[in-house]
Structure 1
Amino acid sequence: MAEREQVTNSNIVYEGPIFSVEKQEVKLYNGRQSQRDIVRHVPAIAVLPFVDADHMMIEKQYRATIGDFILEIPAGKLDERDLAVPEHAVERELNEELRMTAGTIERVMGFFETVGFSDAYMHVYVARDLKPIPLSKQLPRDLGESLDLITISFDEMKTLFESGKINDQKTVLAFLYWSYLRG
């Protein structure tokens, strides 16, 4: 039977704008002591931006964390404007990253990203009926954000998935969900 740990001491050892690190001392079910280092991360959103039933927009972006480019769906963190209505972050990310607006936005699921060390949670949305945003209404991209926008067909995404070139977890999930939708 799975047993709950008991936190005996906790303190924040790092606090930044997106995440903090909490050090916990815990008492295990067998009475032994252990330590947990937990990354406390603000919630985030990811968007499956459908151009039509057979095409989605993805981004190619350099990510310093892996020192390479990666193919991914648009995503972003929630801030105080979005906590009550995460769809606001979806609209903002579509504008900032894709320069698009959606006719419909629907939440389809959510998941914990890396429960072994973080409480990071991502809401996943589908955006349909995409339309370009006029230049005058485009929001600025995040500092240093440089990306290529790619409209990709389901068959192209399937080929990339099968060859291991889709290796970002939210984008893997996007492909699997897209496959599910296609029946």
Structure 2
Amino acid sequence: MAAYPEIVKSSKIVYEGPIFSVETQDVALYNDKKAKRDIVRHVPAIAVLAFVDDDHIILEKQWRATINDFILEIPAGKLDARDFDEPQHAVIRELNEELRMSASSIERALGFFETVGFSDAYMYLYVARDLKPIAENKQLPRDLGETMDLVTLSFDELKSLFDSGNLNDQKTITAFLYWNYLRG
């Protein structure tokens, strides 16, 4: 069977928060039946594969209330009004806020939808190289309540986490697979 688009007949924002909103839609299907869709509208975000050298990256171990646990992940953050035309600005800010580093080289690697089954959340993956510490008086404040342990891992250590199923953050898995692709 061929794929057909749905036609939105009506939509309404039922929740609006600082990071996302929830929209409910009434849609017409290809066969003239009707359905409802709930969509999480999320601001775009960036994530950074931050290289210490060709064989090591920096990750963060941080608490995530959504899973009620710590998770190991690459640095990431939301775009805001300053960044929408240039996501690289968010990369520079997040490297400063989270890693307390700057990078001489920042390149966009790819972009992906995070969870298309219910959300329009889109993330840009960047590669940052030639990291240098930022002087304390130039460091940006972290988000309220944001704490993290920084962890430097080699490719082989990250591969071991991946192989054992202990690398379970989507953006970090995507970054690892991209890193693996770069290594040929």
The TM-score normalised by the length of structure 2 is 0.99
Residue 131 of structure 1: aligned partner: 132
TM-superposition CA deviations, 1:9-67 (whole Å, max 9, x none):
10000001110000000011111110000000000000000011000000000100000
TM-superposition CA deviations, 1:142-180 (whole Å, max 9, x none):
000010000111111111111111100000011111111
Residue 11 of structure 1: aligned partner: 12
Matches of residues 117-156 of structure 1 in structure 2 within 5 Å?
A: 117-156=118-157
Q: Does 1:86 align with 2:87?
A: yes
Question: Which runs of structure 1 show a deviation greater than 4 angstroms over 4 or more consecutive aligned residues?
Answer: none
- The residue type paired with residue 88 of structure 2 is E
Q: Distance in 2 between matches of 1:122 and 1:175?
A: 15
Task: Please give the secondary structure, in 2, of the residue aligned with 1:91.
Answer: helix
Matches of residues 34-183 of structure 1 in structure 2 within 5 Å?
A: 34-183=35-184
- Tell me the percent identity: 73
Task: Please give the secondary structure, in 2, of the residue aligned with 1:122.
Answer: strand
Task: Please give the secondary structure, in 2, of the residue aligned with 1:116.
Answer: coil
- The residue type paired with residue 40 of structure 2 is V
Task: Please give the secondary structure, in 2, of the residue aligned with 1:172.
Answer: helix
Displacement after TM superposition at 1:91 (Å): 0.3
Matched residue count: 183
- The residue type paired with residue 177 of structure 1 is Y
Structure 2 gaps, min length 5: none
Q: Distance in 2 between matches of 1:172 and 1:125?
A: 14
